[in-house]
Amino acid sequence: MSLTVSARPYDLVVDPDATALIVIDMQRDFLEPGGFGELLGNDVSLLGQIVEPLASVLWAARAAGMLIVHTREGHRPDLSDCPPSKLARGRLDMGIGSSGPKGRILVRGEEGHDIIDALSPREGEVVIDKPGKGSFYATDLELLLRNGEIKSLIVTGVTTEVCVHTTVREANDRGFECLVLTDCVGSYLPEFHRVALEMICAQGGIFGWVAHSADLLAALESKPQRPLATIGEGG
Ligand code: C5J
Q: By C-alpha distance, which of 46, 67, 59 is closest to 216? A: 59
Q: Is the minimum distance from the CB of 25 to ligand 1 under 6 angstroms?
A: yes
Tell me: pLDDT of 132 over 60: yes
Q: Which of 36, 39, 73, 115 to mutate to test the pocket of ligand 1 (most atoms within 8 A of CB)?
A: 73
- Dihedral through CA 196, CA 200, CA 201, CA 205, nearest 10? 170
Which residues are CB-neighbours of 205 under 8 A, at least 6 positions away?
8, 9, 10
Contact 36, 100 (CB under 8 A): yes
Q: How many CB atoms lie within 10 A of CB 62?
A: 21
% pLDDT > 70, the chain: 95
Is 183 known to be catalytic? no
Q: How confident is the model at residue 235, as a pLDDT?
A: 37
Which residues are CB-neighbours of 163 under 8 A, at least 6 positions away?
24, 25, 71, 73, 133, 134, 135, 157
Q: Report the SS3 class of residue 145.
A: helix
Tell me: pLDDT of 171 over 60: yes
Q: How far apart are CA 184 and CA 179, in angstroms?
A: 11
Q: How confident is the model at residue 227, as a pLDDT?
A: 54
| 229-234: average pLDDT | 50
Q: How confident is the model at residue 223, as a pLDDT?
A: 72
Task: Supply the residue whose CA is at minimum distance from atom 5 of ligand 1.
Answer: 163
10 Cα to the center of ligand 1, angstroms: 28
Q: Is the minimum distance from the CB of 27 to ligand 1 under 6 angstroms?
A: no
Contact 3, 14 (CB under 8 A): yes
The catalytically annotated residue of 29, 102, 130, 133 is: 130
Task: Supply the residue whose CA is at minimum distance from atom 4 of ligand 1.
Answer: 163
E-strand ranges in the chain read 3-5, 12-14, 19-24, 67-73, 99-100, 103-104, 126-130, 152-158, 177-186, 209-211
Q: By C-alpha distance, which of 53, 3, 1 is closest to 26? A: 53
| 189-208: average pLDDT | 98
The catalytically annotated residue of 102, 133, 163, 215 is: 163
pLDDT tens string 3-48: 999 999 999 999 999 999 999 999 999 999 999 999 999 999 999 9
pTM: 0.95
pLDDT tens string 63-114: 999 999 999 999 999 999 999 999 999 999 999 999 999 999 999 999 999 9
- For helices 51-63 and 213-221, give the axis angle rounded to 10 degrees: 20
Amino acid letter, residue 136: F
- In DSSP terms, 14 is beta-bridged to 3
Averaged confidence pLDDT in the chain: 95
Contact 218, 182 (CB under 8 A): no
Amino acid letter, residue 97: G
Q: How confident is the model at residue 32, as a pLDDT?
A: 98
Q: How many CB atoms lie within 10 A of CB 3?
A: 18
